[in-house]
């Protein structure tokens, strides 16, 4: 049974409101499963192995700086291997119903970036 015009307008308005007010929820629920980025996993594993070698060499040669650098490289390699890919394609429906990309000034970075974006949006009057 098709929706009436009023019901369709109400549904579209609710959808736009959801996309506008709760972008984090929409991104979480609407996110598709991404393929793993094998390049970053391989690079991360290589960095981790090189870091372990540097850490062991630093301990064996009693060079503190080499051990610290090895640990830092190993830690960076693990972070690179476990980092999610940044190729997410998130589209929201605009006012006209056509898909559009997220606003370029919005960053989907850390917690503080999201808080700053929300504060800026409230200051602009676009809550």
**Higher-confidence residue: 30 or 121?**
121
- pLDDT at residue 46, rounded to an integer: 95
- Is the per-residue pLDDT at 3 higher than 50? yes
- pLDDT at residue 51, rounded to an integer: 95
Cβ–Cβ < 8 Å for 78, 49: no
Cβ–Cβ < 8 Å for 93, 13: no
Please give the C-alpha separations between residue 126 and each of 33, 111, 120, in angstroms, as whole numbers.
Answer: 31, 20, 9
pLDDT digits (tens, 9 = 90+) for 41-58: 999 999 999 999 999 999
Confidence bin at 66 (pLDDT 50/70/90): very high
- Is the per-residue pLDDT at 37 higher than 50? yes
Q: Give pTM, 2 decimals.
A: 0.44
**Higher-confidence residue: 34 or 69?**
69
DSSP for 40-78?
A: HHHHHHHHHHHHHHHHHHHHHTT-HHHHHHHHHHHHHHH
pLDDT digits (tens, 9 = 90+) for 73-121: 999 999 998 887 665 444 444 444 444 445 555 445 677 778 778 877 8
**Higher-confidence residue: 13 or 110?**
13
- pLDDT at residue 97, rounded to an integer: 44
């Amino acid at each position: 049974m098709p929706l009436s015009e009023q019901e369709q307008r109400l549904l579209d308005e609710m959808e736009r409101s959801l996309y506008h007010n709760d972008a984090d929820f929409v991104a979480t629920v609407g996110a598709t499963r991404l393929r793993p980025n094998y390049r970053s996993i391989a690079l991360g594993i290589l960095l981790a192995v090189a870091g372990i070698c540097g850490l062991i060499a630093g301990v064996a040669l009693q060079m503190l700086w080499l051990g610290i650098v090895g640990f830092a490289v190993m830690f960076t390699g693990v972070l690179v291997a476990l980092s999610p890919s940044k190729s997410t394609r998130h589209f929201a429906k605009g006012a006209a119903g056509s898909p559009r990309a997220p606003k370029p000034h919005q960053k989907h970075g850390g917690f503080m970036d999201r808080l700053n974006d929300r504060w800026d949006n409230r200051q602009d009057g676009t809550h």
